[in-house]
Amino acid sequence: MSGLSGLWPEIQEDRIIFHKPAGKLVWRLPGFPLEGGVVYARNPHQVSSANWRDGAELRLACELGAAQLLIQIRTRPTSPFVRLRYKLEGNMRFTGVDGRQRIHYGTLETDYDELTEISLSCFDKILHSFIPTEYMYSREELTDAGLAGPIAIAGNAGLVTLLAFEHGAQAPEGYLRLYPEASGIGMYSHKGNFYNGQFAEEYLAPWIDLGITDGGQDRIRQAFRAHVGEDLCESPASRYPYLFYNTWNYQERLKTFAKRPYLAEMNEERMLAEIEAAHRIGLEVFVIDTGWFRRAGDWDVDLERFPSGMRAVRERLDALGMRLGLWFNPTLGARESAIVKAHPEYIMRTRGRDWYLDAVWEKEGCYGLCLASGFSEALIEIFTRLYEELGVSYFKWDGIGQYGCEGAGHYHGGEGNAIPERMDAYAYRMGLEMTKVAEAVSVRCPGAIVDFDITEGQRFVGLGFLSGGKYFSINNGPYYENFDLPPELKREPDPINVFFFPGAARAQICRASSLFDRYVPSQLFLTHQLPEGSLSARENAAAALVLGGNGIWGDLAALSDEEADFWREFFACYKKVREAAVAAYPITRGAIGGSPEIHEKLDAERGVGFVTFFTSGPGEFVHVTQRLKRPPSLVLGADAYECLDGGRVRLVVRLEADGARTVFFIGVNV
């Protein structure tokens, strides 16, 4: 195709070489354990090409014994990254048990003395959040145990390469591994990627990311962050920093403090009132949490609660320029639902019986439905229908655990496979099926956003889901039990979670997701702040919100005029700078909870963005920004500021104990 010739890789018998601005990415072809031995792909050749963004989507075919390997490649001329994944065709079968017989996904040929492993899925029970971690190894320190990844950066200064895979699991669990090899870094299956006897054409592969830059590790981190934000997902809606509201916190307040059912006010009248309150302060996406539906699985509107069938809600949101979001646990099907009756084969099996949970969120009992059973195809149709019929453009997915199905006859093994093998294969595949649904919905439903709740452990967390949507993080923080409090210690009322109240402590916990911003753009994490309370509490919530979260929940209808005015004015400023700020690479000073703790999110080209300050102790704090190529036209929120020679800005902020402040840099054309 015209214009694509410069994007085509150099093809050799067992390698593909991608020419990037900083140098060559050399990828050695994979091998699969088929029909009793590992069969390596050979002789790649062109099948097709198409325009993709400002680059190309290329397809290669390779010989693979009696089967065939297809390689889907996405590449852009200005990007240092290549993204690829595999599809197998033919009647060959996998042999052996994964973990003893492994898939060799390929090797990134690179020379290095140091290697940095980046994990995205360490679950901290005290923070009640997944957090990223980094480990640096010399060649001598690397072992044959492999690295869980999903990201490995090879090299320290000068030319640096990156290899990553788009899968996920709570660390130290993992289903793929990265291994040091003489010629570079090899990527292998670890467990669950296939089961013995599986047909090659039934195999599902993750995306693989390769990259190369000069300028050292910091530069490739920044480039990879941009790659995650720009190239992984087909829908730009999930990358836009909308402002969100969710009804769940108010539902919890009813149950915990008013001693009423969670669904006591889940009705059309209350939702319309909350929509008005949300619009009053400038929120843009209104999410109705659990209880709006009649039956899980069918996901039809409860007409007793919403007599107009969501029409009145949708019409009011449309009139106010807001979006409608709805809560789902997509892996549940009510006992009397049509989908369970029509497809009992979708039901998950665990410990030898059907997975069943009685009285789910004050609704009828539900079966768990296996994502790796054909059920994922039904989900695509369900969400597309809700988008078309109800106008839902935000889908909040909750309660999806990575483990649990041992059922035979699904896409993760049959009666001839041992239960542990079937369970590993389910844990590997369920996340890829979930991602497939999110990818399909984002393409079939223009503007739709799919959000995956990762507020609990044992979730599919990594790069995998980010090609379909974004993450919902933290909720109300850890449970009291996470602090080893004795069970006889009684609390009345008992909100279960610790950080259920406004103030500096909740805002500090909710900043945990900002730790991802070096690798994954902050707008891909949704965390909700509380809007009420003292001015100090609101300033803490606001400064934390812009660092990664963009969510508000609580009793919006009960906000005072002072509280509502604070948020309306704050969001008016934030909306002027948010796109520039979320694109900016973070600069931080101090640790979360420290004094001071400063976060700089400034677009140096335009002089637009913000700087946030937090402190536990009172004081006057000074911060000098990075060099800005264009000075801001207006700085709001500082007690004093000065534009220095060389393009830097000196900020002075005075804070009381447990104080916070957001300083906005407004640009000339904003």
Asked if residue 4 has pLDDT above 80, the reply is no
- How sure is the predictor about 5, in pLDDT bands with cuts at 50, 70 and 90? very low
Q: Are 617 and 476 contained in the same domain? A: no
* pLDDT at res. 669: 64
Q: Are 254 and 178 contained in the same domain? A: no
| CATH code (residue 464) | 3.20.20.70
Q: Are 146 and 264 contained in the same domain? A: no
Q: Order across the sheet with 660-666: list the strands.
A: 587-589, 597-603, 608-614, 660-666, 634-636
Match 């844990």 to its residue by tokens: 427
- How sure is the predictor about 360, in pLDDT bands with cuts at 50, 70 and 90? confident
Match 């979260």 to its residue by tokens: 549
Asked if residue 238 has pLDDT above 60, the reply is yes
- Tell me if 582 is assigned to some domain: no
Q: Which residues lie closer than 8 Å to 646 by C-beta, 6 or more apart?
A: 627
Asked if residue 1 has pLDDT above 60, the reply is no
Mind listing the pLDDT tens digit for each residue in 246-272? 999 999 999 999 999 999 999 999 999
Q: Are 67 and 49 contained in the same domain? A: yes
| CATH code (residue 155) | 2.70.98
Q: Are 143 and 245 contained in the same domain? A: no
Last residue of a domain, one of 575, 610, 644: 575
* pLDDT at res. 2: 35
Last residue of a domain, one of 227, 257, 285: 227
Q: Which ranges constitute the DSSP H helices of 345-496?
A: 375-390, 419-444
Nearest CA among 435, 437, 410, 431 for reference residue 421:
410
Asked if residue 387 has pLDDT above 50, the reply is yes
Asked if residue 577 has pLDDT above 90, the reply is yes
- Tell me if 530 is assigned to some domain: yes
Q: Are 571 and 591 contained in the same domain? A: no
Asked if residue 73 has pLDDT above 60, the reply is yes
Mind listing the pLDDT tens digit for each residue in 493-547? 988 899 999 999 999 999 999 999 999 999 999 999 999 999 999 999 999 999 9
- Tell me if 580 is assigned to some domain: no
Last residue of a domain, one of 227, 247, 273: 227
Average pLDDT for 38-43: 96
Task: Give the tokens for residue 332.
Answer: 């549940």
Range of the domain at 368: 236-575
**667 C-beta neighbours (distance < 10 Å), count:** 20
Q: Are 287 and 362 contained in the same domain? A: yes
Q: Are 493 and 624 contained in the same domain? A: no
Mind listing the pLDDT tens digit for each residue in 280-289? 999 999 999 9
- Tell me if 385 is assigned to some domain: yes
Q: Which residues lie closer than 8 Å to 380 by C-beta, 6 or more apart?
A: 437, 440, 441, 444
* pLDDT at res. 113: 87
* pLDDT at res. 459: 97
Q: Which residues lie closer than 8 Å to 367 by C-beta, 6 or more apart?
A: 332, 333, 334, 335, 340, 347, 348, 354, 355, 356
Q: Which residues lie closer than 8 Å to 274 by C-beta, 6 or more apart?
A: 245, 247, 250, 286, 556, 557
- Tell me if 197 is assigned to some domain: yes
- Tell me if 263 is assigned to some domain: yes
Average pLDDT for 477-496: 90
Asked if residue 658 has pLDDT above 80, the reply is yes
Query: For 252-304, what is the HEC assignment?
Result: HHHHHCCCCCCCCCCCHHHHHHHHHHHHHHCCCEEEECCCCECCCCCCCECCC
Percentage above 70 pLDDT, the chain? 99
* pLDDT at res. 7: 78
Asked if residue 3 has pLDDT above 50, the reply is no
- What's the chain's length in residues? 670
* pLDDT, greater one: 495 or 334: 334
Asked if residue 6 has pLDDT above 80, the reply is no
- Tell me if 402 is assigned to some domain: yes
Q: Are 154 and 41 contained in the same domain? A: yes
Q: What share of the chain is helix, strand, coil (3-state, %, to 5)?
A: 25, 35, 40
* pLDDT, greater one: 572 or 3: 572
Q: Are 479 and 498 contained in the same domain? A: yes
Based on the structure, what is the number of domains in the chain?
Answer: 3
Q: What is the DSSP string of 127-149?
A: TTEEEEEEEEEEGGG--TT-B--
Q: Are 516 and 596 contained in the same domain? A: no
Strands 15-20 and 10-11: antiparallel
Q: Are 322 and 175 contained in the same domain? A: no
